[in-house]
Amino acid sequence: MITRRHLLATMPLTAAIAFGGPAAPAHAQDFPPRQITIVVPFPAGGVTDQLARGIGQHLAENLKVTVIVDNKPGGSAQIAAAAVKQAPADGSTILIGDIGAFALNQSLYAKLSYDVQKDFVPLARLALAPSLLVVPASSPFNSMADLVNAARTRPVNFASQSNGSGGHLFVEMLSKQGNLKLNHIPYRGSAPALNDLVGGQVEAFFDPVITSGPFVKDGKLKALAFGGDERSALFPQVPTLKEAGWGGTNLVAWFAMVVRAGTPPDVTQRLSAEVVKAARTPELVKRLTDQGLVVAPLTAAEFRPFLDAEIARWGKVIRDASIKLE
């Protein structure tokens, strides 16, 4: 006699889904699924997309499954988040994002369509993205002290990637901590801001090494300080903000993965272990490190308190600066 279970096991995936009856809850013994989709809230080619494809490649190899990277840009990560919120809670759909999507948006937007702590379950932190404080090559500022001294006597035009971005928050923190005159000028991303900085239209910018570093190496910009806890191996001559006396303004972006709330804990733990394993692959570590990222994976259990602390930390900064976005 052919049982229903045997029939389902021999049917194509789409037919099995249509066979009727609600799906049983996912468990670790059902993992991995035949396909894993990593949803990226940014266009292809960016840092988050590169991370998704690097992790995805190793997940595919290690788990023997098909991994698809699905770019859903727009809405400050809300479009991508909505897609993952509506996906099955079985570990087959992952949302990858950055500090903005997971820690800043919650306080920046009055009507955000998702709640990171309620709608998703932490899966893994992947990497850190320290930033450089950069100025034009022709700038009279040759140190953090030079910039600070100038900003105490006159407004210094300070670029950011956009309103509510990490660069914007750095300007607000620096201004408040030092009682400085900083004129915030938002752009639409790092590229146009860096181009105007090179041209001298703005005076300073705090931007991830992965995008600002090449301009420093080419001599088009000068780096005054580094936002990481320790000096960058790529720019060992550049002091950290802490060394320059501004440790309280440290800003290090990060990238992470989450899954839909309701995903069974055993599935989350198994997938988390596989993601962390993929992130630690020597070839991927070298590729990301060469670009200025710091590969620093955290498991689901380790990532949760980090995420909660980051949401609280930046929420206070955003409230104190009275920043609100529509």
Q: What is the pLDDT along the chain (326 residues), one digit of tens a residue?
A: 333 334 333 333 333 333 334 444 555 557 788 899 999 998 888 889 989 999 999 999 999 999 999 999 988 899 999 999 999 999 999 999 999 999 999 999 989 999 999 999 999 999 999 999 999 999 999 999 999 999 999 999 999 988 888 889 889 888 988 899 999 999 988 889 999 999 999 999 999 998 899 999 999 999 999 998 889 989 999 999 999 988 777 778 999 999 999 999 999 999 999 999 999 999 999 999 988 899 999 999 999 999 999 999 999 988 888 888 87
Query: Do 119 and 161 have their domain in common?
Result: no
Query: Do 157 and 171 have their domain in common?
Result: yes
**Per-residue confidence (pLDDT) for residue 75, from 0 to 100:** 87
Q: Residue 148 maps to which CATH number?
A: 3.40.190.10
Query: Do 111 and 258 have their domain in common?
Result: yes
Among 204, 229, 249, residue at a domain's last position? 249
Query: Do 41 and 113 have their domain in common?
Result: yes
**Per-residue confidence (pLDDT) for residue 27, from 0 to 100:** 57
Number of domains within the chain: 2
The answer to whether position 42 is within a domain reads yes
Among 199, 227, 249, residue at a domain's last position? 249
Q: Nearest CA to 317 among 128, 104, 113, 144?
A: 104
Cα 5 → chain centroid:
42
The answer to whether position 218 is within a domain reads yes
Query: Do 103 and 135 have their domain in common?
Result: no
Q: Residue 280 maps to which CATH number?
A: 3.40.190.150
Residues 168, 315: Cα–Cα separation, whole Å: 14
The answer to whether position 13 is within a domain reads no
The answer to whether position 165 is within a domain reads yes
Query: Do 39 and 63 have their domain in common?
Result: yes
Residues 191, 22: Cα–Cα separation, whole Å: 48
The answer to whether position 314 is within a domain reads yes
Range of the domain at 113: 35-128+253-320
Query: Do 135 and 232 have their domain in common?
Result: yes
**Per-residue confidence (pLDDT) for residue 11, from 0 to 100:** 38
The answer to whether position 297 is within a domain reads yes
Q: Can you state the angle between helices 282-290 and 265-279, rounded to 10 degrees?
A: 70
Query: Do 232 and 270 have their domain in common?
Result: no
Query: Do 96 and 136 have their domain in common?
Result: no
The answer to whether position 29 is within a domain reads no
The answer to whether position 89 is within a domain reads yes
Q: Nearest CA to 237 among 170, 143, 310?
A: 143
Query: Do 103 and 116 have their domain in common?
Result: yes
Q: Give pairs for 149-155: CB < 8 Å, separation 24+.
A: 151/178, 151/180, 151/181, 151/182, 152/178, 152/179, 152/180, 152/181, 153/181, 154/181, 155/181, 155/182, 155/183
Query: Do 257 and 284 have their domain in common?
Result: yes
Among 249, 271, 290, residue at a domain's last position? 249
Q: Are 126 and 51 in contact (CB under 8 A)?
A: yes
Q: Which two tokens stand for residue 66?
A: 């098909």
Q: Which two tokens stand for residue 161?
A: 């990637």
Q: Note if the pTM is more than 0.75.
A: yes
Query: Do 135 and 243 have their domain in common?
Result: yes
